[in-house]
Amino acid sequence: DFQSILLYSWGLGVLVCLYMHLYQVSLEKSKQVKRCLLLL
C-alpha cells in the first residue's frame, strides 16, 4: 500500500541506521562506514 508508506518517518530511520553503523565502526567491528552514509 503506497499511501501508508508516505506516513513513515524516513529521516528517523536513516539516522538510526547511520548511528548504528557509526557505533559498529567505533567498536572496530567494521573497517568502513557503508550504506546509510551514501544517503547523507
pLDDT in tens, 1-40: 677 777 878 888 888 888 887 887 788 765 666 655 555 5
Query: Residue 18's closest CA among 33, 3, 6?
Result: 33
Q: What is the model's pLDDT at position 33?
A: 60
Burial code of 10-29, b = ≥16 C-beta within 10 A, e = fewer? Answer: eeeeeeeebeebeeeeeeee
Stated pTM of the model? 0.53
Q: What is the model's pLDDT at position 31?
A: 62
Contact by Cβ (8 Å): 38, 18: no
